[in-house]
Amino acid sequence: MIFSLVDCNNFYVSCERVFNPGLENRPVAVLSNNDGCIVARSNEVKALGIKMGVPYFKEKPFLKKHGTAIFSSNYALYGDMSQRVMKTLAGFCDDMEIYSIDEAFLDLSNLANIDLCDYGQQIRRTVRQWTGIPVSVGIGPTKTLAKMANHLAKHGNGVVDLINCENIDEILVKTSLPDIWGVSRGYSNRLAAGGIKNALELRDTDDRWIRKALGVVGVRIAHELRGQVCYDR
């Protein structure tokens, strides 16, 4: 199997920028329904140290000082832009699962003989050209690894392929437990109590221990890290 997770970068912020190009390279934050909390941040706001979900009133003076553009959530706009992105992505695969308003899993299994990184860049260019929304593309043999690849892609050139990857162990050992898809804070605490600190150690832990600590869900996560598909839908 070849899965690709395509994720829109800072989606709500990106939607606002599509209709106001002057916001590019400027700090931008989007607030929750009642303008109570910050629910989306541009990279510039993230660089200021503003955390997701913090009450807006606490950070308002600081954000104003740095010239941050503040928007109330516009869910009609975000829903419309999501539909445009998903319609564009559907043209790149035979099967697509919309995972959230700004994420979708693409089944690329019929494209095993092409350069997957080049294909990922083609996806990025097309989505940006047709919708104005920047995306990151993670590719892997399972959804869990595709999700991990997407996380890495956001900090690189926008595309990461963990199928044709020679240093997968190096990547897994640098992936902390909370960065693994499906590993909650409670799971992280139980794993850490057992001496497991990263994705590589989880992958290589005996199934019997994982089942006892996390149940069948934990075993599935470990199998996905080994490249065995447990979540096809």
Quick one: what percent of the chain has pLDDT higher than 90? 93
Task: Look up the CATH number of the domain holding residue 65.
Answer: 3.40.1170.60
43 and 58 in a single domain? The answer is yes
Nearest CA-CA partner of 147 in 171, 169, 125, 131: 171
Q: How many structural domains comprise the chain?
A: 3
Domain stop point among 25, 52, 75: 75
Alpha helix (H) ranges present in 19-142? Answer: 43-47, 56-65, 75-90, 116-131
pLDDT in tens, 201-218: 999 999 999 999 999 999
Please tell me the predicted confidence (pLDDT) of residue 231.
87
Cα–Cα distance for residue pair 144/222, rounded to 1 Å: 9
User: Does the residue 117 lie in any domain?
Assistant: yes
Same domain, 118 and 156: yes
User: Cβ–Cβ contacts within 10 Å for residue 165, how many?
Assistant: 16
Who has greater pLDDT, 85 or 114?
Answer: 85
Confidence (pLDDT) at 136: 98
Regarding whether 84 and 70 lie in a shared domain, the answer is: no
- DSSP state string for 4-16: EEEEETTHHHHHH
pLDDT class of 166 with cuts at 50, 70, 90? confident
Q: Are residues 154 and 90 in the same domain?
A: yes
Q: Tell me which residue range forms the domain holding 113.
A: 3-9+78-161
Q: Which comes out higher in pLDDT, residue 232 or 161? A: 161
Q: 96-147 pLDDT, tens per residue? A: 999 999 999 999 998 878 999 999 999 999 999 999 999 999 999 999 999 9
pLDDT score of 33 more than 90: no
Q: What is the mean pLDDT of residues 223-227?
A: 96
Are both 69 and 93 inside the same structural domain? no
Tokens 């992958």 locate to 203
Whole-number average pLDDT of the chain: 95
pLDDT at 233 > cutoff 70: no
230 part of a folded domain: no
Going by C-beta distance under 8 Å and a sequence separation of 6 or more, which residues neighbour residue 41? 10, 13, 28, 29, 30, 50, 52
| Domain presence at residue 66 | yes
